[in-house]
Amino acid sequence: MGVIVLGSANHDTSVSMPRIPAPGETILATGAASGPGGKGLNQAVAAARSGAATTFVGAVGDDEAGERLRGVLIDEGVRVGLGTSDRPTGTAFVMVADDGENAIVVVAGANGDGAAITAEAASALASARSGDLVLAQLEVPLDAVLSAFRSAKERGATTVLNAAPSRPLSEDQLALVDVLIVNQHECLDLAGAPVGGAADAAGAPVVGVTDDAGASVEGVADDAGAPVEGAADDAGAPVVGVTDDAVADAARFLAARVGTVVVTLGAAGALVLSAGEETRIPAFPVTAVDTTAAGDTFCGALASRLAAGDALTAAVPFASAAAALCVQRPGAAASAPRLDEITELLATRA
């Protein structure tokens, strides 16, 4: 069965530097590169490289950058459903520090053209059927995501939402989601939204977690030292003000509304809640070089295995291995590993 990814596509400019500069500070870069990115495109490439028949739905501008992104997807064997917008192709500027940390600024451009994306989604979903999987994120208009999920559900396909960047979602909106993938910040943020604020499931305020601070853009670790999604970074520091119990309680709150929740916990691995059961999946410890697309690689790889019929207990370790490989090389979409690499790393845990 196949994976249909709906999301953003960007032309990334990545700059390497000793560390991320403070506000008002100038730092000399050690290098620069450009390439494809965007949460949606990254996840589509990761799914395809993980072995899934993959379709990507999004929008680009009528410009050179848009044509390059189309070419990248075709070269990766991804079926392309890209609408052409009168807005320019999305752009991301990525700062990557020597320790693998990063900071990202995104100019949405065509990614904000909900009409173009919705039209392409309708075409791509016309042939969706039971066993197919529709994966989306929140870097494109929410209405486009919800419309695609409604169509997917009508056709018996499975819907997977990577709720990043984080934003409030109503219970009716969450009801369209079969599998929810979030990091610690996003988990707490979403659990707080239905009860009117950034509070955990127990009602306690979440210290230091806001929508802006908690938004995970392309798998970036947070400023407090939150580890890489699906892989253990060198810091391994806990998220300031957030306890493991608070995250677990928030995940249970969400699982009661969605059914299946996967929370990525960095060095602590992942927490999977489904059918009333909770499972902890350990991470693969690695030294991170560039965390830019770690979360996206996790999501794309997970989607590929769920579409293949794997149980979550098999799909999540696969996704964790893919993310661990991803962070050991630079770049966004280009850093996603291929199936043979993931299988080889998984075999070390057998």
Q: 215-261: per-residue pLDDT in tens?
A: 333 333 333 333 344 343 333 334 444 568 899 999 999 999 999 99
CB 111 within 8 A of CB 11: no
Q: Residue 99 has what pLDDT?
A: 87
d(CA 267, CA 24): 32
Task: Mark 181-212 as b/e (b = at least 16 C-beta within 10 Å).
Answer: bbbbbbbbbbbbbeeeebbbbeeeebebbeee
- For the stretch 53-65, pLDDT in tens is 999 999 999 999 9
In this model, does residue 206 exceed pLDDT 70? no
CB 319 within 8 A of CB 21: no
In this model, does residue 76 exceed pLDDT 90? yes
CB 321 within 8 A of CB 49: no
In this model, does residue 323 exceed pLDDT 90? yes
Q: At what angle do helices 294-307 and 39-49 cross, to 10 degrees?
A: 50
DSSP 204-250: -B-TT--HHHH--STTPPPTT-PPPTTEE-S--PPPTT--HHHHHHH
Q: Residue 199 has what pLDDT?
A: 39
Q: Which amino acid is at 203?
A: G
CB 220 within 8 A of CB 248: no
Q: Residue 232 has what pLDDT?
A: 37
Active site residues: 296
> What are the Cα distances from residue 333, in Å, to 38, 179, 222, 294?
8, 23, 20, 10
User: In terms of DSSP H, where are the helices of 91-215?
Assistant: 114-125, 142-154, 171-174, 184-192, 211-214
The neighbouring-strand residues paired with 96 are 16, 102
In this model, does residue 270 exceed pLDDT 80? yes
Mean pLDDT for the stretch of residues 108-120: 97
In this model, does residue 124 exceed pLDDT 60? yes
User: Which residue from 312, 299, 291, 313 is spatially nearest to 99, judged by alpha carbons?
Assistant: 291
Q: Residue 243 has what pLDDT?
A: 63
Q: Residue 233 has what pLDDT?
A: 33
Q: Residue 101 has what pLDDT?
A: 83
The residue among 1 and 13 whose pLDDT is bigger is 13
Q: Taking all residues of the chain, what is their mean pLDDT, rounded to a whole number?
A: 86
d(CA 244, CA 138): 25
In this model, does residue 197 exceed pLDDT 80? no
